[in-house]
Amino acid sequence: MAELAKNSKLMKKAQEEIRNYLGNKRKVTEKDVEELPYLKMIVKETLRLHPPAPLLLPRETISHFKIEDYNFYPKTMVQVNVWAIGRDPTYWKDPEEFFPERFAESSIDYKGQHFEFLTFGAGRRICSEMKLGVKTVELTLTNLLYHFIGK
The pLDDT profile of the chain, 151 residues, written as one tens digit per residue, is 889 989 999 999 999 999 999 998 888 999 999 999 999 999 999 999 999 999 998 999 999 999 999 999 999 999 999 999 999 999 999 999 999 999 998 888 877 777 788 888 888 888 889 899 999 999 999 999 998 876 5
Say what the pLDDT of residue 151 is: 58
Binding-site residue set: 127
The range of the structural domain enclosing residue 137 comes to 1-147
Helices then strands, each counted (H, E), the chain: 6, 4
DSSP codes of every residue in 27-62: S--HHHHTT-HHHHHHHHHHHHHS-SSSBPPPEE--
Q: For helices 130-147 and 37-49, what crossing angle results, to 10°? A: 120
Whichever domain contains 22, its CATH number is 1.10.630.10
Q: What are the C-alpha distances in Å from 24 to residues 14, 28, 146?
A: 16, 10, 10
The DSSP letter of residue 66 is E
Say what the pLDDT of residue 140 is: 94
Say what the pLDDT of residue 112 is: 73
Integer Cα distance of 79 and 21 in angstroms: 42
Binding-site residue set for heme: 127
pTM of the prediction? 0.88
Q: How many distinct structural domains can be found in the chain?
A: 1
Say what the pLDDT of residue 122 is: 85
Say what the pLDDT of residue 22 is: 92
